[in-house]
Copies of this chain bind each other. A is one copy, B any other.
Amino acid sequence: MEDIQNSASKVAMPIDRVGVRDLTLPLIVRDRKAGRQHTMARVELSVDLPAHFKGTHMSRFVEALGDWSEGLDYEAFKNLLTDIIHRLEARRAHAKLTFPFCLRKPSPVSGRKGVMSYDCSVEGELENGELRFTLGVKVPVMTVCPCSKAISVEGAHSQRAVVYIRTRFKGFVWIEDLIEIAEESGSSPVYSLLKREDEKHVTEESFSNPTFVEDVVRNAANGLENHPKIEWYKVDVESFESIHNHCAFASIEKS
């Protein structure tokens, strides 16, 4: 049968990225406490395409995924990208996997454990044997407004905010490390299970530590600056303001 993809392209322009996305795949990721954890990932895979080829062989991305083990770590991820470069005769390959990552987190006073989930991403581009690898995580926190607290006789508005951290680093960094940095950057971490004594604690703690979205993004950036292995980061904080119908946001990228 004719291989249309290998024929010449009418418009001779190189394509930066061509590939597939929105595949769902079972995945096993590393877990600091349990060793490993089963999850489900959304997958995007792509390569560059030189100006003279009409098309990519899209099915080879799915074949590469199928032959790949389900275990995700740095080496396995690099192997997937190397395999894609070979199968698709490309110069450059890119992959992004996003998945929920769960932790059984104890509440602050009663110590009851509840499952918390964090949306994570690993993203990498391989070119000339060099992998540019980015680890990301979205962490919910609670913020209490410092202005509202200072000017009001009683109370202060609080809300959930999401701290979205993306990092590049040397060596190895746990997702859990990034979660900790994010959770320390707001007025309080959030929990899935809180008994009455826990709720009292979270309320009082958060009110003793009010934070603007500006404070949260700086605290997280500062935590990442102080991490010995992290070489680049971008922090985006979005706060679902409880007194408004819009969000406040702030972002810092290490230049």
Chain A residues close to B by CB (< 8 Å): 1-5, 9-11, 13-26, 37-40, 44, 46, 49, 54-56, 58-59, 62-63, 65-66, 99-100, 102, 112-117, 140, 142-144, 146-148, 150-160, 188, 190-197, 199-200, 202-204, 206-208, 212-215, 217-219, 221-222, 238, 240-253
Known contacts A153-B204, A154-B207, A240-B240; can you find 11 more A-B pairs with CB under 8 A?
A11-B219, A17-B251, A21-B249, A23-B117, A66-B112, A66-B114, A66-B193, A151-B200, A152-B204, A194-B243, A202-B243
Copy number of this protein in the oligomer? 4
User: Min CB distance, A248 to chain B, in Å?
Assistant: 6
> A218 near B115 (CB under 8 angstroms)?
no
> B114 near A46 (CB under 8 angstroms)?
no
- Residues from chain B with a CB closer than 8 A to the CB of A240 are 159-160, 240
- Residues from chain B with a CB closer than 8 A to the CB of A148 are 199-200, 203
Give the nearest-CB partner of A99 in chain B. Answer: B40
> B155 near A247 (CB under 8 angstroms)?
no
Q: Which one of B20, B158, B195, B251 lies within 8 Å of A249 (CB-CB)?
A: B20
- Residues from chain B with a CB closer than 8 A to the CB of A218 are 9-11, 13, 15
> A196 near B147 (CB under 8 angstroms)?
yes
- Residues from chain B with a CB closer than 8 A to the CB of A100 are 24, 40
- Residues from chain B with a CB closer than 8 A to the CB of A195 are 59
Q: Which one of B112, B200, B246 lies within 8 Å of A23 (CB-CB)?
A: B246
Cα distance A51–B50 when bound, in Å?
Answer: 45
User: Min CB distance, A160 to chain B, in Å?
Assistant: 5
> B194 near A251 (CB under 8 angstroms)?
no
> B215 near A10 (CB under 8 angstroms)?
yes
Q: Which one of B9, B152, B241, B246 lies within 8 Å of A203 (CB-CB)?
A: B152
> A1 near B153 (CB under 8 angstroms)?
no
Q: Which one of B17, B58, B159, B214 lies within 8 Å of A49 (CB-CB)?
A: B214
User: Min CB distance, A229 to chain B, in Å?
Assistant: 20
Cα distance A113–B65 when bound, in Å?
Answer: 11
Q: Which one of B2, B18, B147 lies within 8 Å of A55 (CB-CB)?
A: B147
Cα distance A13–B253 when bound, in Å?
Answer: 11
**Given A155-B207, A192-B62: A142 in contact with B11 (beta carbons within 8 A):** no
> B15 near A190 (CB under 8 angstroms)?
no
A-B contacts, 23 of them at CB < 8 A, read A1-B197, A2-B151, A4-B146, A11-B222, A15-B250, A16-B251, A18-B251, A19-B250, A20-B248, A21-B249, A25-B102, A25-B117, A38-B39, A40-B100, A44-B249, A56-B214, A63-B114, A66-B115, A151-B203, A152-B203, A155-B207, A188-B243, A190-B241
